[in-house]
Amino acid sequence: MVRLILAALMFALVISASGWSTAGDQTDQQILGAWVLDLTDPEGVHRTPAVVVGRQYDRYVAWYLGNDQPEPFRDLELKGDTLVGTIQPKDFPSVTVDVEAKLIGDDRCAGTAKFREGASGVTGSFRFSGQRVPMTAFDEVTTWNLRFTAPDGEQHEVTVTVVTKDDKMYAWFSGPDHELPARNINVQGDDVQVKLTAETERGQAIDVTFRGVVSGETVKGTAEFQVGGESGTIPFQGERSS
């Protein structure tokens, strides 16, 4: 249980302060972030896994944090106040689980998971509840505003929130098109490296590695990117905002 909670903290950033939402609908802001679930599986084992919800353009993305390895949901969709999606756990590749999670209050959810085993045809379901991880769960929170110009000449600004928990650091990228956790953050003295995997608007995977040097309240460096068969580097700069 402790290992799963720490895994949740690796991606656990509540981003309701990012300012993004669909006009007139606050549900979007309420579901984004990390959630710790409480459930009893079909074998009678009590579990507290974590799920983190993000966004890419107008599509939601989510990862189940089992065995410390994020496993992506597919066909994720918000229907009113209910988030639905499907996952095939890596530990049980023949099992498909359809999940429906409904908001039932501030930072709380409840839902049903329906599973089916491909070879045997066995089906079943179980209930779960969830609680979003609050910012107060972290030891330290800092925010950085980064600016860079893409290879097509378009200028971009993103916010990187960095949190510390038990002497470990984790990061979340917030921008006009994405709300996503970083895969890795490494700090050695004033040198920092942050890795991010996202998708382009056309659905192509893009890997970006930010390497920079922090000087007081500012940071400057280069971002290496790979998308499709192309790769390159672009400079970035930024400053701490909180």
For residue 214, the model assigns a pLDDT of 95
For residue 102, the model assigns a pLDDT of 94
Tell me the pairing of strands 218-227 and 168-174: unpaired
- The top-level CATH class assigned to 138-240 is mainly beta
Instruction: Break the chain into its structural domains and give their ranges.
Output: 2-132, 138-240
Per-residue tokens: 161: 């929130």
Alpha carbon 16 to chain centroid distance?
Answer: 13
Per-residue tokens: 184: 């890795």
CATH fold for the domain made of 2-132: Lipocalin (2.40.128)
- Exposure string over 60-88, b if 16+ CB within 10 A, otherwise e: bbbbbbbeeebbebeebebeeeebbbebe
Total number of residues shown for the chain: 242
Tokens 């944090």 found at:
65
Other Cβ atoms less than 10 A from the Cβ of 56: the count is 16
d(CA 125, CA 128): 10
For residue 69, the model assigns a pLDDT of 56
Same fold, 2-132 and 138-240: yes
Contacts of 219 (CB under 8 A, 6+ apart): 144, 146, 192, 212, 213, 237, 238, 239, 240
Cβ distance 199 to 208 under 8 Å?
no
Cβ distance 55 to 181 under 8 Å?
no
For residue 39, the model assigns a pLDDT of 95
SS3 118: coil
Q: What is the pLDDT along the chain (242 residues), one digit of tens a residue?
A: 233 333 333 333 333 333 233 333 455 667 888 888 999 988 899 998 888 888 888 788 888 876 555 688 989 998 888 999 999 988 888 999 999 999 998 889 999 999 999 889 999 999 999 998 877 777 888 999 999 887 778 888 889 988 887 777 778 888 888 888 787 888 999 999 998 888 877 878 888 899 999 999 999 999 998 888 888 999 999 999 98
For residue 189, the model assigns a pLDDT of 92
